Amino acid sequence: MKTSNRDLLVLLKDESMSNQAIEQEVEQLNELLFHVESADIFCRTNEIIDMNRYVLLQDHKTLVEVMYQNELKPFIFLYNKN
């Protein structure tokens, strides 16, 4: 698995966990987030509402293009289906 460059804040209930157990928990969290944060999952769970053209866009290519934009044009909304 690719090593991710992220900061995680992990709050533990049990103070008696060893450093090895904590490292294992963090590695499992990284693996989970690696799979969840993919572009494919993003495109399945989001859609674009374009109020300028009154359309609902759900295609993969358009969603990926919008994902990498710094800001959206006026009256174009990124909507989470959840």
Q: Where in the chain are the domains?
A: 1-37, 46-80
**SS3 assignment for the chain:** CCCCCCCCCCCCCCCCCCHHHHHHHHHHHHHHHHHHCCHHHHHHHEEEEECCCCEEECCHHHHHHHHCCCCCCCCEEEEECC
Q: Cα Rg for the chain, rounded, in angstroms?
A: 18
Tell me how far apart the alpha carbons of residues 23 and 19 are, in angstroms, rounded to a whole number: 6
**pLDDT tens track, the chain, 82 positions:** 556 677 888 888 877 888 898 888 888 998 888 888 888 888 899 999 999 999 999 999 989 888 888 988 899 999 999 8
pTM attached to this predicted model: 0.60
